[in-house]
Structure 1
Amino acid sequence: MRISILGSGYVGLVSGACFADFGHFVTCVDLDEKKIERLKRGEIPIYEPGLDALVADNSAAGRLTFSTDVNAAVADAEVIFIAVGTPSRRGDGHADLAYVASASEMIGRAMKDFTVVVTKSTVPVGTGDEVERIIRKVNPAADFAVVSNPEFLREGAAIEDFKRPDRIVVGLEDERARPVMESVYRPLYLNQGPLMFTGRRTAELIKYSANAFLAMKITFINEIADLCEKVGGDVQAVARGIGLDNRIGSKFLHAGPGYGGSCFPKDTLALLKTGQDYDVPLRLVEATVSVNDNRKRAMGRKVIAACGGSVRDKTIGLLGLTFKPNTDDMRDAPSLAIIQTLLDHGARVRAYDPEGMDAARALIEGIEFGADAYDVAEGADCLVLVTEWNQFRSLDLSRVASLMKTPRLVDLRNIYRTDEVARAGIEYTSVGRRAELSEIETQEAAE
């Protein structure tokens, strides 16, 4: 099939490369000429494992092309995906649909024969209706169907998620779009990919509901971690104990410094705004947003407490800046709030991240950046593990201890065993665990 994707950001680029890998002929369109020129040269503007090779292979095969010519791309396409940004709007938290509206107008003006227009961007309930209205306004004679097909891609594992999805949600009101979307996803459909057809508004709500629910799971286990610290429990054992219940599941039950990234923060806010617009209070989601925001700042205070109650004139080293590993995304990363709290209390901050340094430099002032984990540890009064990159999971702890002014580790991801840190002579603070061996560590030692 001939597919055009408007927007060559994270979702658009990953989707375009994967669709091309399925055998479709895909044109990724963007008005940013510099970005398109970079993509034509094989330069990937984002960090996503495996994406550079996927783009290169399908570009070489002639199935994936890049262009700034919206009119030509729209006129030639059987299916057009809208994959533009929908950031939180300043002031009210609602999703800003300006780019979606602009894309809809351009599609309406350039459309020729019957075309399926698909919103791939994360959009509030009713956006499909608005896309349809805009296209009809600029081109009353247009023959088209508007479909909602939300993405469920995890940064760092996007290609795997696209090619082996838990579900493919397609929301439509015009049945003519059904066979077209079946053809788009035919390679996955033949492999028993769960293709789920719903109404358009239902599909839009599925995306927001899924992200809000996962955000609530993260926030729930973080609050349980706080309780564990007070009563002497072990949050990892609690998470394992409840996660073995199939009704709950083990995913997203890892205590840490709070969620961040491009999806959960803005999507929970947008869902809250939708609830307000329809006079349906979403109290659980509202509490989730509030608790998560407070948690990020609380992690900064946790570091201060681990340093004896003051970090003034002390050097604090941070390992990891991005909101999760295997991405360069700094949007709403917990590290931002943690760093600001430390700076506000007079600390000197030095940080290192394998992929997020450039993005961090544009967002954070007043800190130093190290060359690697050991460079950050040298002379530090405390080392804080914020993002669980694989290279931080097997540090030479004895070397770390010898480099630090005060051997002290605050592990906000619980990736180290308390006994191995203690053997290295490092004072250790984790999340939701006792200072001595955790219950899981004790069980593993016995086994």
Structure 2
Amino acid sequence: MNITVIGTGYVGLVTGTCFSEMGNNVYCIDIDEEKIKSLKNGIMPIYEQHLESMVIKNHNKGNLIFTTELKKGLSKSDICFIAVGTPMASDGCADLSVVFQVAKNIGELMSHDLIIVTKSTVPVGTGDKIDKIIQKELDKRGVNYNFQMVSNPEFLKEGTAVEDSMRPDRVIIGSEDEKTINMMKELYAPYVKNHDRFIIMDIRSAEMSKYASNAMLATRISFMNEIANICEKVGADVNKVRLGVGSDKRIGYSFLYAGCGYGGSCFPKDVSALIKTGEIAGYSPKILNEVESVNNNQKVVLVNKIREKFGENLSNLSFSIWGLSFKPGTDDMREAPSVVIINELIKSGANIKAYDPKAREVAENIFKNNENIEFCNSKYDVLNDSNGLIIVTEWNEFKSPDFNEIHDRLKHKIIFDGRNQFDKELLDTLGFEYYQIGC
């Protein structure tokens, strides 16, 4: 098929690249000329495993085209995906300004019948608004092209986005037009050997499915962090509690790890947007408000432990940070706990040395001109003369470190572990003070 994907962020770039991998001709559109130029030269705007090689291969083959010319893509395409960002606005709602501008542009430029798919995460009812915007522009032009709206939410996890795209758990198609549904099934057929993975529903239910999924996962994380905080008060071990809870087949182990809070581009903004959706409709979502509150508080749990150990004034103290991205496998630092932790420590007077395998460049931009933070090229170099090691992101290279090396380099043999990675009894025998979440 011939496809246009508007937006070359995480969702758009991964989606377009994976469609091209299956032999489709894909036009990836973005208004950022520098980004398009970089993509043509094989320079990625994000880090995502396997993505770079697939982009270069399919671009060189000619079936993955990067351009700023929306008209060119639309003129040659059967299906157009809207995959632009929907960031959190100042009031907590999803900012749909770019989505609506894209809809207007589609109405101004489309030159034949078209299937228009929202891949961006959008509140319930957005598909109807896009439909009206496009139709208004067509009416202005005096043309009568037929178009069908589809909601096809993405369920990509940063760090495994290519794998998730190529082997989806499910493909939700929000449409009530049989011909359109069949075309979407044909497009996704190479990814879905088991056709039971297609879930067909109306557009509004598809839009809600994405928000409900992310909110459920965020709720599990905040619930377990709440349990962890209770465990600390009563002398229980959340690591053992997790095993007891997760062994129940009705619950399972996924998203039951206690830690220093969730971040990223999805959970924070989607929980907030779903709260606002409920409020606008006249309902106050009490559970989701608490999910958000627990997560915000969880991001300072490690800071509180450090202050309890060293006092409120951390002047003349230096701390090492392992991990800056909000999760391993990505360089994304949006809403990352590391940002909150670093800012709080610096506010108390501390100096920071930080290391992350992929997110250094992003972090340097976030903390530019801040003299209280230094970025290092090695997880061991950050430890020199440090008063304590703080583990924020559970990258694989942090899971089995040389504890003798850590012991020799740290000024104070103290580890604050925001991901509960190590065996406390082992670290006790090695002479470390070891602080975890929920233990």
TM-score (ref. length: structure 2): 0.96
Match of 1:162 in 2: 165
Supply the AA of the counterpart residue of 2:304.
R
1:165–1:193 Cα contact (<8 Å) kept: no
Match of 1:145 in 2: 148
1:317–1:351 Cα contact (<8 Å) kept: yes
Match of 1:444 in 2: none
1:105 CA displacement: 1.1
Question: Quick check: 1:367 aligned with 2:361?
Answer: no
1:193 CA displacement: 6.0
2:302–2:416 Cα contact (<8 Å) kept: no
Match of 2:88 in 1: 88
Quote the RMSD (CA, aligned, Å): 1.3
Supply the AA of the counterpart residue of 1:121.
S
Match of 1:440 in 2: none
Once the two structures are superposed, residues 200-238 of structure 1 have per-residue CA deviations (whole angstroms, 9 ceiling, x without a partner) of 000000000110110010000011111111212111111
Distance 2:54 2:196 in 1: 21
Distance 1:192 1:422 in 2: 53
Counterparts of residues 345-364 of structure 1 (less than 5 Å): 345-364=348-367
Distance 1:14 1:341 in 2: 35
Where 1:94 maps in the other structure, the secondary structure is coil
Which of residues 219, 222, 237 is equivalent to 2:225?
222
Question: Quick check: 1:44 aligned with 2:50?
Answer: no
1:240 CA displacement: 1.6
Counterparts of residues 45-444 of structure 1 (less than 5 Å): 45-90=45-90, 92-140=91-139, 141-192=144-195, 194-307=197-310, 311-364=314-367, 365=370, 366-433=372-439
User: What is the number of residues matched between the two proteins?
Assistant: 432
Distance 1:306 1:148 in 2: 51
Distance 1:245 1:64 in 2: 46
Which is worse superposed, 173-182 or 97-106? 173-182
Match of 1:438 in 2: none
Distance 1:381 1:262 in 2: 32
Counterparts of residues 7-46 of structure 1 (less than 5 Å): 7-46=7-46
1:23 CA displacement: 1.6
Where 2:352 maps in the other structure, the secondary structure is strand
1:70 CA displacement: 0.4
Distance 1:258 1:88 in 2: 18
2:168–2:192 Cα contact (<8 Å) kept: no
Once the two structures are superposed, residues 344-372 of structure 1 have per-residue CA deviations (whole angstroms, 9 ceiling, x without a partner) of 22211111111111111222233121221
Once the two structures are superposed, residues 130-178 of structure 1 have per-residue CA deviations (whole angstroms, 9 ceiling, x without a partner) of 1100000001322100100000000000011111111111111433311
Where 2:319 maps in the other structure, the secondary structure is strand
1:171–1:202 Cα contact (<8 Å) kept: yes
Where 1:139 maps in the other structure, the secondary structure is helix
2:48–2:159 Cα contact (<8 Å) kept: yes
Distance 2:207 2:69 in 1: 29
1:73 CA displacement: 0.3
2:312–2:348 Cα contact (<8 Å) kept: no
Which is worse superposed, 380-389 or 242-251? 242-251
Question: Structure 1 runs of 4+ off > 6 angstroms?
Answer: none
- The answer for unaligned runs of 5 or more in structure 1 is 434-447
Where 2:321 maps in the other structure, the secondary structure is strand
2:242–2:256 Cα contact (<8 Å) kept: yes
Distance 1:122 1:375 in 2: 40
Distance 1:371 1:273 in 2: 42
2:115–2:180 Cα contact (<8 Å) kept: yes
Distance 1:335 1:190 in 2: 40
Distance 2:271 2:133 in 1: 26
Distance 2:240 2:163 in 1: 29
- The answer for unaligned runs of 5 or more in structure 2 is none
